[in-house]
């Protein structure tokens, strides 16, 4: 849930990038971070622990407009890709305002995508959240690879609700800002 800071007149919104390991979550955030005006962003923070060899989360606040005289600040997080870090994944979802599911389009990653999506549903349910009511978009990443599933095929597997979805090649920045813009607009609409 967004937090309102009356002293600074800011509404802080949390957007979590969720998905499989090595699917492109961190690459999305790194691309966004590299392109956002330095005056409107905070530091990107990466945390790693002894037991988690992947990134714990990336933290990136950026300003994206005002709502009723309050500046909107978005905090972007990633979760560890491996499902066996589920406690960390669940913790990062606490207080979420919007979700981007980054799917790896490679055919051999189809099962991992489905498993990560089920894991997302379970973790949200543990907080009483319903994905059908949260701002939620999907990015089909790695569209440039020769072993990528067709959009229709991956959509049928991962997007039965018909949420906004986007093709992406995060390493080249393709689809990255389109995905961010879509989830941001949905979050702002939910706040209004």
Mean pLDDT by 10 residues, the chain (192 residues): 80 92 91 84 71 44 70 86 79 94 98 96 95 96 98 97 97 97 92 82
pTM for this prediction = 0.91
Predicted pLDDT at 63: 60
Predicted pLDDT at 57: 44
Q: Cα(124)–Cα(92) distance, rounded to whole angstroms?
A: 11
Q: Cα(21)–Cα(79) distance, rounded to whole angstroms?
A: 9
Predicted pLDDT at 64: 62
CATH topology of domain 3-191: Rossmann fold (3.40.50)
Question: What are the structure tokens assigned to 117, written together?
Answer: 């999506």
77 Rama class: left (phi>0) / alpha (psi -120 to 50) / beta: beta
Q: Cα(74)–Cα(2) distance, rounded to whole angstroms?
A: 9
Predicted pLDDT at 148: 98
- Domain locations along the chain: 3-191
- Bridge partners, residue 63, by sequence: 73
Predicted pLDDT at 44: 79
Predicted pLDDT at 53: 36
């Amino acid at each position: 849930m967004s937090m309102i800071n009356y002293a600074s007149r800011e509404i802080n919104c949390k957007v979590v990038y969720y998905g499989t390991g090595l699917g492109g979550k961190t690459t999305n955030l790194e691309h966004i971070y590299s392109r956002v005006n330095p005056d409107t962003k905070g530091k990107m923070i990466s945390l790693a622990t002894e037991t988690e060899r992947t990134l714990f989360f990336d933290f990136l606040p950026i300003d994206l407009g005002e709502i009723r005289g309050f500046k909107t600040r978005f905090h972007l997080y990633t979760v560890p890709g491996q499902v066996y870090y589920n406690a960390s994944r669940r913790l990062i979802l606490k207080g979420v305002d919007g979700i981007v599911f980054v799917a790896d389009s490679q055919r051999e990653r189809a099962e991992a995508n489905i498993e990560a999506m089920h894991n997302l549903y379970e973790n949200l349910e543990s907080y009483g959240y319903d994905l059908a009511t949260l701002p939620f978009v999907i990015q089909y990443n790695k569209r440039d690879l020769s072993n990528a599933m067709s959009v229709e095929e991956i959509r049928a597997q991962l997007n039965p609700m018909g949420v906004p979805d986007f093709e992406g090649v995060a390493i080249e920045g393709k689809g990255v800002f389109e995905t961010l813009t879509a989830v941001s607009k949905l979050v702002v609409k939910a706040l209004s």
